[in-house]
Amino acid sequence: MIKWGVMGPGRIAHNFAKGIAVTDGAVIQAVASRNEKRATQFAGQYQIETIYSDYQALTQDPEVDIIYIATPHAFHYEQALMCLNAGKAVMCEKALTITAEQSRYLHQVSKEQGVFIMEAFWSKFLPAWEQIQHWKLKIGDIKLVQSNFCFKAERNYSDRLFDPIQGGGALHDIGIYNIASSNYVFDQLPIQWQVLGTVGETGVEESVSAVLEYEGDSRATFTCSFNVTTPNTMTIFGEHGRIEIAEPFFGAEKATLVTDSANEVFEIPHAGAGFEYQIAEANACLQLGKIESGKHPMQATIDTLEIIGEMRRSLGIGRQ
């Protein structure tokens, strides 16, 4: 049994808890929050044995094997480093850190300590995305990937989406899915890109559109935005057909292969909230003594953050 700790029992942590509930060999042993009432409510809802009002105390719990970090982006680096230095394995919500340099250092510490770390990029582990990887062979060379991740957010400037102190901005919060998923589809990094965006009153990017250029005269285009709601789908176009990934593409339960000769539909509803597949990956890595996932290695996280950092600088936001 792999015993998990939860650091930050906010909205996203409920999806994690639902995933744990349908994952064999996993249980939430402890939860930590600076808001004791929130921790108590979360523990009661999911029958969690131990509650901490201090994050450091969670890292010292001998019953906890791995800690899931679900706090705002700006705090991930400090908290993940705290866990690694305490010898605790880490699965941390994306974006793992604000800068690529921070993730690179966490990777170094992970290797030095021999302790597992993985960004919680749940999309890669979903059955629909597993199928998409197999289908790519049927559509020939991929020439274009198109995707959107946009929703009209309530304009609360103290909310983490708009707050630079909490790591706000569309690229770290939602554009990361467009970029990392496009890289995953092409199995390479873009050689160059063009980006346009809108920086809001709080100094974070609220809307970004980009074209990523890959080798082989191939491109990915995307828009991520807090200012407009769109269908959040992805379509992969190859020489002999296309793959349509249903909304939301980053949490897909359904995908469709369209070729000249046939149509195929793949659909598997999530057993929990969809996080169960990445939880199972982390469990398997721990049982095998691995310090990172082969499917979502730390280098993939670092590469995506390098792109986000350069895009933000080109929008005049700078290094934060």
Residue with tokens 């969670």: 58
Tokens of 196: 């346009």
Q: What is the pLDDT of residues 256-301, one digit of tens each?
A: 999 988 899 999 999 999 999 999 999 999 999 999 999 999 999 9
Q: CB-based burial of residue 169 (10 Å sphere; 0-12 exposed, 13-18 middle, 19+ buried)?
A: buried
Instruction: Name the nearest CA neighbour of 122 among 12, 248, 250.
Output: 250
Could you give the C-alpha distances from 259 to 106, 131, 136, 235, 244, in angstroms and in order? 43, 15, 11, 13, 11
Beta-strand (E) ranges in 62-135? 66-69, 89-93, 117-120
pLDDT of the residue at 234: 98
Using DSSP's 3-state secondary structure scheme, residue 210 falls into strand
pLDDT tens figures, 209-255: 999 999 999 999 999 999 999 999 999 999 999 999 999 999 999 99
Q: In degrees to the nearest 10, what's the CA dihedral of 265, 235, 270, 45?
A: -160
Q: How big is the CA angle at 298 (ends 193 and 123), to the nearest 5 degrees?
A: 75
Q: List, for residues 120-148, the tens digit of each pLDDT value.
A: 999 999 999 999 999 999 999 999 999 99
- For residue 247, what is the DSSP state? S
- Domains present along the chain, CATH in parentheses: 2-121+275-291 (3.40.50.720), 127-269 (3.30.360.10)
